Amino acid sequence: MTKSEPSKVTGNLKAAQGAVKETLGAAVGAKQMESEGKATRAEGNTELEAAKAKGYAEGAGDSLAGGLKKNVAKVTGNDKKEAEGKARQTKGDAKKAANK
């Protein structure tokens, strides 16, 4: 069985669940619960960071490819392809910004 792609949603959810379990364990003096919560929180934070890195890399690829397409189209005088390249570059820049 292969592991699913990292997800910001599930990463945040796991981190929050772990934080609650860790806090509850500390409050009632249940060291095992606290330790399990800490591990779950760390797992969630790791998944969140992996999802952000993947999104940033995808955005960088779109930004680069879009910029290249835009510049080639500008040189060749193809306004439609230039607009498509600019749109892809803008999309990539936005994806990079959302995943910093």
DSSP 77: T
Catalogue the long-range contacts made by 85-88 (C-beta closer than 8 Å, 24 or more residues apart): 88/62, 88/63
Write down the pTM of the prediction.
Answer: 0.80
DSSP 78: -
* Residue 4 pLDDT: 85
At residue 92, does pLDDT exceed 80? yes
* Residue 1 pLDDT: 43
**The residue count for the chain:** 100
More confident residue, 30 or 3: 30
Q: For the segment 31-89, what is each residue's pLDDT rounded down to a tens digit?
A: 999 999 999 999 999 999 999 999 999 999 999 999 999 999 999 999 999 999 999 99
Q: Per-residue b/e over 65-87, b at no fewer than 16 CB within 10 Å?
A: ebbebbeebeeeeeeeebeebbe
**Residue matched to tokens 């934070």:** 45
Q: Quote the CA–CA distance of 67 and 81 in Å, as a whole number.
A: 11
